[in-house]
Amino acid sequence: MAGREENRRLDTSGGSSLGHNPFGALGELGDLPSGPATPSAAEKAVKTSVRQQPNLNRGRVEIRRLTGGRGGKTVTAISGFVGIGLPEKERLAKQMQKACGCGGTVKDGVIEIQGDKREQVATLLSAAGFKPVMAGG
């Protein structure tokens, strides 16, 4: 039985070549570039200044405190986003969850955060360039 197992195994000692090496011709080209060119200091300054200035007028969003249909549990709902897609709403929801230390989700374009976190959510939305408005009771 031991002899049969040896016959089925492949030689991995490196003694035989496995075939054509697709990267073998690269050695003939000499020195290849190490990677993309590094941006100049001016390009870095432009990129960082654009990133640090959020769009200060991204629109009005409504922050509501809801309890209906949730077994008495309170939820903070944020709605009224204009011109922002689902991926960005999910990113905002994730940031709010981390900052508030609670769970949340995005349902039908409305961000829902567990608990009454209206003030914390309003601060995050202001920093993101939105104009938060407390709506309802």
Q: Write down the domain spans for the chain.
A: 60-134
* Alpha-carbon gap, residue 67 to 110, rounded angstroms: 15
What is the CATH number that goes with domain 60-134?
Answer: 3.30.780.10
Residue 29, Cβ density class (10 Å: 0-12 exposed, 13-18 middle, ≥19 buried): exposed
* Rounded average pLDDT over 104-125: 93
Residue with the bigger pLDDT between 23 and 94: it is 94
pLDDT, tens digit, for every residue of 21-34?
777 777 677 776 66
Provide the whole-model pTM. 0.58
